[in-house]
Structures are given as C-alpha cells and as structure tokens.
Amino acid sequence: MKSFKTLKEDLIKNKWRILTGLAALLIVDVLQLLIPRVVKHAIDDLTSGDISPPRLLNYGLQILILALGIGGFRYVWRYLLLGASRRMEKALRERLFLHLQALSPSYFSRTKIGDLMAHAINDVEAVRMATALGLVFIVDTIILGILTIFFMVYIDPVLTLYAVLPMPLITLITLLFSRRIHDRYEVLQKAFAHLTERVRESISGIRVVKAYVQEEMEKEKLSCLSRDYIEKNVSVTRLWGMFFPLLLFLSNLSLAIVLFLGGKLTILQKISTGDFVAFMSYLGMLAWPMMALGWAINVIQRGGASMDRLNRIFGEVPEISDDPEALSSVLPKGRIEIRNLTVSPGNGGAPLLEDIHLNIHKGERIVIVGRTGAGKTVLCHFLVRMLEPPKDSIFFDGTEIHRIPLKGLRSSIGFVPQDTFLFSDTIRENIAFGKPGATLEEIEEAARIAQIHDEMMEFPAGIDTVIGEKGITLSGGQRQRVAIARAVLMNAPIFILDDGLSSVDIQTEEKILDGLEKFLKGKTSILITHRIAPLKRADRIIVLEKGRVAEMGDHGALLSRDGIYAKLYREREMEEELERE
C-alpha cells in the first residue's frame, strides 16, 4: 500500500465523500444481514404452523423495506466512492501532465512517447480501479465478513468454527499470489507501453513506410510485440485463473461442512429450521467477502504496479528549473553578454562550445553562421535555457540567466527553433499559441510579416483551417512561416530565429526579411542561417567553427579578410545561383 502514498493529498480532499460512501456501504451490509433474520422467523412460524396471512405479509413488507434501503444506500456509496475515484483520477492525470511539462528536454530524449502514453492512460486507469473497486472490496470484505461471522456465532458458535476453518488457507493463498500478481502485472504494463510506442511510431512515419514499401515489415514488428503482450497477459490471467477457483473451492468446502453438520443439528432439534436456513444464507454471504478478497488483491496489485511506475516519473527531478534566488521582477530587455562559455558533451568528446565571449547590444542584429555541428543551435538553446548553461556564463542586462525566472525569460524571447512543430489545430490557434488572447488583427499582421497571410486566406476555411498532425497538410516553407508568425506575435524584446528560413524560396525569404526589418527595429535579434540574404542586413556576423568564435565583424569586413566566412559565403553564393537557374 506504500505505493499509494502519492495520493495522500487527493484522499484528504475527498475524505468526506469517501467516509460518507463507506458509511453508506456499512449500512448496506447491515441491512443485508437483517434479511436472513426476517426469513428465519418466517420459516420458524411456518414450521410451527403458528402464522397468519397478515403476519406473513408483514414479513414480506419488512424484506421489501430492507431491499429498498439496500438499493438506496447502494446508490449513495457507488455515487460517492466511484465519483471520488474519478476525481482522483482527474487530479492524478493532471499532476502527471504538469510534471511532464516541467521535466527537461533531455528526459524526453531518453523516454519513449509510447511509455508516457501508457502511463497517462493505462496506469492511471489501473490506479483509479484500485482506489474505487479495490477500496470497496477490501472494506466490504472486512465489514461484511466480520458482521456475518458475528451473526453466525449468534446462531451456533461450534458450527461457525467449522464453517470458517478454510479461512486461514485463503489468507495463505492470498499472500502467496499477491506478490506474483504485482510483478507480472508490472511486466505486462511495460509490454503495453512498447506496443503503444510501436503503433504511434508506425502511424507517425506512415509516409516513410509507404515510400519504402515496408508495410509488411512494420506489420511483422507489430505482430511480434502483440504476441509478446498477449503472452504476458495470458501469464497474468493464468495466475489469476488459479487464484479465483481456489477461493471458490474453499468457499464450497465450507458449504459442504455446514450442510452436513448443520443438517444434523437441525434433525436433532438443537437449532431450528429457520436458524439452519439463516445460517446457510449467512454462509452464502460470507462466500462473497472471500471471493471479493481475491478481486481486491488483483485490482490493488495492478493499481500498485501502475502507481510504482507513475511514482518513478514523479521522482524525476527537472534538470532545468527556477533558481531559489531567482528575481521575479527581472525581465530581459535586450542586452546579452556571454562570458567564457565552455560546455563539454560529457562523454569525453570535443567541447560543444569553447571559450565563447560575446557582448550583444540592445537592438543589435546578429547573424550566426558556421558549418553543421559548429554549435550554433546549442548556443541558442542555452540562451532560452532549453539546455542548462554553466553558472556565470550568460547575462541579460547584467543579470545572470539563472536569476531570471524561466517563465519571464522565455516570454521575453520570440524563439523559432530549427525543428518546426505545429499542433493539429487551426492556423489561428497555432499562430496565437504564445499569446492566446491575441486579436484577429494582431494575428493577421503577424501572418503578413511572415508572408503566410495571402496563402492562408486561400485555404478552405482561411485562418480557421485545421491543419493535420504536426502541420503535415502544409508545406515545409508554410510550416516555417507559421512558426515565424507565432514568434512575431509575441512581440518580445529578443527574437531568435534558428535556421527558420531554410525551407522557403529565395524570393519569399527576401519578402520575410523585408517584413521583419520594421518589426525588429529596437529589438535584439539573433538569426542562424545558411542563406546569403540575412548576412548583408546584419549589424554583426559571428562565425562559429568547432564550437569557437572563429571570426566576427560585418559582412564587408569579413569578406575582405578572405577567411572562413568568405569561403562559406562563396560556397553558398554558388548554391543559390544554381537554385535560381
């Protein structure tokens, strides 16, 4: 049960619902136990012949009233207890989602999306079942079991002793099976996660699968995982299938003992016929707690295995978070200073960045160039703390980056990452993602600057056209322009564009740069590019080579040096000439 400690706060929030529901459950159990007492008196009166139709009707009305009470209070406990479990399920899923959002990007690079989907769906559902039916079964087993034995002892203590003889065996079997069920179910959940991830990846990459005619291979991979999932499911079912019949056998063993010994006592008139029938009824009721115990163990063990998996996620500490000494009132305004920034990959390889010193003035237009792997994207990710920079290496307006709250830092930077991601939503919602309350005029103006407005209006529903998953219905250039419009709409004092024009043609690129010219006035902008057009518009160009600043200056000065920049420029100039042809 220690696995469920994470739910302590949710249990406290729902304590009155749970306690009231358990009280209603107790009343139901007591009312159920009264019915055999009514039947006992009716049968004794019938056996003695001392009964009249009105009295028999009275017994019937008593049973009817008890049945109505059972139905009413059963509704109450189901509504309260199952409702509380649904509320806890909602809270747990939201807590998991918020925790996942707080985790650093590195966590998602080593964790499969299918695993996370299994946690959010299958594991949370298993925990809900444990807190709902598991709780009900356990409490019902204890309450109904104890009260039933009390009524049986009241009829005949010796007969009760013989009837409950198999119970220690039930406890022993439960202890033996519970641990094994828990372990096997955890393995089953992992298999489900692998299956989910395979399906997700195959569907996401369906165009590649079709292009390479690999449908059969993907089918075989899925079939292999499906067989593994079925085998593990059968393993759990096999164990569970042995558990339940053993409980049922022991329950029927009690019935056989009572039928023989109780029948003998009735013949000898040591107990009345009504007592014998009532005792048999109570024994039938006692069979339910015995079986419910098995259900409870199964449900709780499944929930416990799932809760263990969720707890491992909750135990993950974000690598990037707000510093305890963060200054909530400080927001970046545009000046950026980088001091001796050196970062190694951690595997003994060459540094990602080495001895970077930069002083970027507010309103300055910076362009960063360099070959693939030079460290351009890594540097941008440090500026927005998608990667954690070393202490005292990056400063905004003189304030060390870790002393600026993450929310304040990122809301002050309009960032267009290299890998464009769009949501399966309308174009309007995708552009307004960073500013949900934006007006239509603001969204359209941002779209015009990004040169996507006219094309957007040609779509069937215009700005309210729903695009496919990851924006698949748009071209690469259109996706990049929607992403640029999203960053433009934020109107932040700092603008970072990480190779965000790579998929647009040269003519469209010129138009976008013209639109950005006015927008970026007074803002600090950092553009990573492999294209020529932005270079001539830059106040300063920084050339990175193997993680170091190799050259720095404006376009004309760097060309005149005839160094790395001049060579890169001439190569790109030839490529763009070929593109125009």
Closest C-alpha among 449, 409, 415 to residue 434: 415
Mean pLDDT to the nearest integer, 103-116: 80
What is the per-residue pLDDT for 321?
84
- Most confident listed range (138-147, 196-205, 222-231): 222-231
Residue 488's DSSP bridge partners are none
What residues contact residue 402 under an 8 Å CB cut-off, 6+ apart?
323, 325, 326, 391
What is the per-residue pLDDT for 434?
86
Residues 241-282 have pLDDT tens digits of: 777 777 777 777 777 887 888 788 878 878 888 887 888 887
Using CA atoms, how far residue 38 sits from 35, 58, 100, 253, 272, in Å, is 5, 10, 57, 27, 14
Q: Extract the tokens encoding 300.
A: 């709780």
Closest C-alpha among 401, 386, 404 to residue 104: 386
What CATH code would you report for 2-314?
1.20.1560.10
Q: Is the confidence at residue 581, as pLDDT, over 60?
A: no
In the sheet that holds 353-360, the strands lie side by side as 353-360, 336-343, 394-396, 399-400
Using CA atoms, how far residue 283 sits from 37, 187, 270, in Å, is 13, 38, 19
pLDDT band with cut points at 50, 70 and 90 for residue 300: confident
What CATH code would you report for 420-491?
3.40.50.300
CB–CB of 40/282 below 8 Å?
no
Closest C-alpha among 485, 564, 500 to residue 533: 500
What residues contact residue 575 under an 8 Å CB cut-off, 6+ apart?
none
Greatest CA separation for the chain: 123
Residue 293: other Cβ atoms inside 10 A: 22
Residues 161-176 have pLDDT tens digits of: 887 777 777 767 766 7
pLDDT band with cut points at 50, 70 and 90 for residue 291: low
User: What does the alpha-carbon distance between residue 383 and residue 402 come to, in Å, rounded to a whole number?
Assistant: 11
Pairing of strands 399-400, 494-498: unpaired
What is the per-residue pLDDT for 579?
63
- Most confident listed range (76-80, 120-124, 179-183, 507-511): 76-80
pLDDT band with cut points at 50, 70 and 90 for residue 294: low
Mean pLDDT to the nearest integer, 358-379: 89
Using CA atoms, how far residue 290 sits from 26, 96, 400, 518, in Å, is 17, 35, 64, 77
Mean pLDDT to the nearest integer, 504-518: 84
Q: Is the confidence at residue 82, as pLDDT, over 80?
A: yes
Q: Extract the tokens encoding 577.
A: 């000439």
Mean pLDDT to the nearest integer, 54-61: 86
Q: What percent of the chain has pLDDT over 90?
A: 9
Q: Is the confidence at residue 1, as pLDDT, over 70?
A: no
Cα-based torsion angle of the residue sequence 352, 546, 393, 489 in order, rounded to the nearest 10 degrees = -90
Residues 310-329 have pLDDT tens digits of: 888 888 888 888 887 777 77
Angle between helices 15-48 and 135-155 (to 10 degrees): 30
What is the per-residue pLDDT for 524?
92
pLDDT band with cut points at 50, 70 and 90 for residue 103: confident
Q: Is the confidence at residue 440, as pLDDT, over 80?
A: yes
Determine which of 193-202, 345-354, 413-422 has the lowest per-residue pLDDT on average.
345-354
Q: What percent of the chain has pLDDT over 70?
A: 95
DSSP 470: G
Closest C-alpha among 68, 45, 40 to residue 56: 45
Q: Extract the tokens encoding 4.
A: 């469920």
Residues 546-576 have pLDDT tens digits of: 888 888 988 888 888 888 888 888 888 787 6
Q: Extract the tokens encoding 190.
A: 């992992």
User: What does the alpha-carbon distance between residue 505 and residue 508 come to, in Å, rounded to a whole number?
Assistant: 5
CB–CB of 275/269 below 8 Å?
no
What residue spans of 14-134 are helical by DSSP H?
15-48, 53-77, 83-102, 105-109, 113-118, 124-129
User: What does the alpha-carbon distance between residue 189 and residue 191 come to, in Å, rounded to a whole number?
Assistant: 5
Q: Which residues of 184-194 are buried (b: 16+ CB within 10 A; e: fewer)?
A: bbbebbbbbbb
Mean pLDDT to the nearest integer, 186-208: 77
Q: Which residues of 121-138 are buried (b: 16+ CB within 10 A; e: fewer)?
A: ebbbebbbbbbbbbbbbb
Q: Where in the chain is the domain with CATH 1.20.1560.10?
A: 2-314
What is the per-residue pLDDT for 68?
95
Pairing of strands 353-360, 540-545: unpaired
Residues 454-477 have pLDDT tens digits of: 888 888 888 888 887 777 788 888
Q: Is the confidence at residue 130, as pLDDT, over 60?
A: yes
What residues contact residue 211 under an 8 Å CB cut-off, 6+ apart?
none
User: What does the alpha-carbon distance between residue 318 and residue 388 come to, in Å, rounded to a whole number?
Assistant: 11
In the sheet that holds 365-369, the strands lie side by side as 413-416, 494-498, 524-528, 365-369, 540-545, 548-553
Q: Is the confidence at residue 337, as pLDDT, over 90?
A: yes
Q: Is the confidence at residue 419, as pLDDT, over 60?
A: yes
Q: Where in the chain is the domain with CATH 3.40.50.300?
A: 336-412+496-581, 420-491
Q: Architecture of domain 336-412+496-581 in CATH?
A: 3-Layer(aba) Sandwich (3.40)
Q: Extract the tokens encoding 227.
A: 């067989």
User: What does the alpha-carbon distance between residue 397 and residue 335 come to, in Å, rounded to a whole number?
Assistant: 5
What is the per-residue pLDDT for 456?
85
pLDDT band with cut points at 50, 70 and 90 for residue 218: confident
What is the per-residue pLDDT for 61?
92
Q: Is the confidence at residue 124, as pLDDT, over 80?
A: yes
Using CA atoms, how far residue 390 sits from 1, 320, 343, in Å, is 42, 12, 8
Q: Is the confidence at residue 53, as pLDDT, over 60?
A: yes
* Residue matched to tokens 């920049």: 565
pTM over 0.95? The answer is: no
What is the per-residue pLDDT for 67?
92
What is the per-residue pLDDT for 151?
84
CB–CB of 456/463 below 8 Å?
yes
Q: Is the confidence at residue 413, as pLDDT, over 80?
A: yes
Residue at 74: amino acid letter: R
What is the per-residue pLDDT for 52?
77
Cα-based torsion angle of the residue sequence 393, 398, 402, 406 in order, rounded to the nearest 10 degrees = -130
What is the per-residue pLDDT for 394?
92
CB–CB of 152/163 below 8 Å?
yes
Query: What DSSP string describes 373-438?
Result: TSSHHHHHHHHTTSS-PPTTSEEETTEEGGGS-HHHHHHTEEEE-SS----SSBHHHHHGGG-TT-
Q: Is the confidence at residue 206, as pLDDT, over 80?
A: no
